Amino acid sequence: MGRAYLGGLALALRRWAIVLLAFLASLLAGLSFAAAAWSWLALALGSSLATRSLLTDLNVQVFIDLFIHHQESLAMLVLTGLVLVVVFTLLGVWLNAVVAVSVGEDISASSCLLRGFQLYPTYLGLWVLSNGCVMASGAAVLLSGWWLTRWRTESAAEMTFYWIVASNALAGALLWFFFATVHDHARIRSRAAGVGAVRAFGWAFAYVGRRNKQALPLSGLFLGTGAALWAVYQSISHYIAVNSALRVTLSLLLGEALLFARMFLRVWCFGAETQLQQGREGAGSWVSAATDRPAP
The whole-number pLDDT of residue 149 equals: 79
Q: Which among 73, 74, 103 has a CA at the least distance from the CA of 12?
A: 103
**Higher-scoring residue by pLDDT: 252, 94:** 94
**Higher-scoring residue by pLDDT: 263, 61:** 263
In single-letter form, the type of residue at position 183 comes to H
The whole-number pLDDT of residue 248 equals: 73
Q: How confident is the model at residue 64 (pLDDT cuts 50, 70, 90)?
A: low
The whole-number pLDDT of residue 81 equals: 80
Q: What is the pLDDT of residues 88-101, one digit of tens each?
A: 999 999 999 999 99
Rounded average pLDDT over 90-117: 93
Domain range summary for the chain, segments of one domain joined by +: 2-282
Q: What is the pLDDT of residues 229-241, one digit of tens each?
A: 999 998 988 887 7
Q: What is the pLDDT of residues 184-243, one digit of tens each?
A: 999 999 999 999 999 999 999 999 999 899 999 999 999 999 999 999 998 988 887 766
* DSSP codes, 87-150: HHHHHHHHHHHHHHHHHHS---HHHHHHHHHHHHHHHHHHHHHHHHHHHHHHHHHHHHHHHHHH
Q: Provide the 8-state DSSP code for 211.
A: I
